[in-house]
């Protein structure tokens, strides 16, 4: 089977985390013709995998800084519904998660900044060394796709790798005991409403 036979790509931005994207993945779940697809960078397909027969496997390949640091650790799959963010969802772990920092070279600066903000939050909650590296290399990390752009100084790439690995490690430490979010008083939820 070729990848084109089973892979459906959707935009990974917030407006697509809604009903229309679910319909694109899963036109009529009651018809018996549902063909769930996996797009390993978007919430809708992960939710569709959780909902379809309550257990369709998927592989996650995060391609953004937030995806690598935060979403790669989480088992929450949720979609917007109506005017509400993450209203419908489940807890459904991927079969595998593949982490490749090379995807960061393709991101627009705004996506790098979003991930940078998440790393600041994690490091202020749990890891001073990471915070210090973010402070030292901040502008260079943003302008070089987290050290992945052609010509990025080796020192910046090494700092980016250390930051990313530390961020993932801290998220694992903070989230693993509470993957189903039973305890809502979580350090890592700092700033959430």
Catalytic residue IDs: 76
Dihedral angle, C-alpha 50, 56, 57, 61, nearest 10 °: -50
In three-state secondary structure terms, 63 is coil
**72: closest CA among 46, 90, 48, 50?**
46
CA–CA separation, 163 and 193 (whole Å): 26
Count CB-CB contacts under 10 A for residue 61: 18
Q: Which two tokens stand for residue 170?
A: 């801290």
């Amino acid at each position: 089977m070729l990848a084109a036979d089973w892979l459906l790509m959707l935009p990974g931005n917030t407006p697509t985390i809604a009903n229309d994207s679910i319909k694109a993945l899963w036109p009529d779940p009651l018809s018996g013709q549902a063909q769930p697809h996996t797009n390993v960078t978007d919430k809708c397909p992960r939710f569709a995998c959780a909902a379809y027969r309550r257990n369709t496997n998927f592989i996650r390949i995060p391609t953004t800084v937030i995806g690598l640091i935060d979403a790669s650790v989480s088992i929450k799959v949720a979609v917007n519904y109506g005017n509400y963010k993450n209203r419908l969802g489940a807890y459904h772990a991927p079969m595998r998660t593949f982490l490749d920092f090379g995807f960061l070279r393709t991101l627009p600066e705004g996506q790098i900044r979003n991930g940078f903000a998440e790393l600041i939050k994690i490091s202020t909650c749990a890891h001073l060394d990471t915070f210090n590296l973010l402070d030292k290399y901040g502008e260079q990390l943003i302008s070089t796709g987290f050290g992945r752009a052609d010509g990025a100084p080796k020192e910046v790439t090494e700092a980016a790798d250390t930051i990313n690995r530390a961020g993932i490690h801290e998220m694992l430490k903070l989230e693993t005991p509470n993957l189903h979010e039973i305890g809502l008083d979580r350090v890592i939820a700092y700033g959430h409403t």
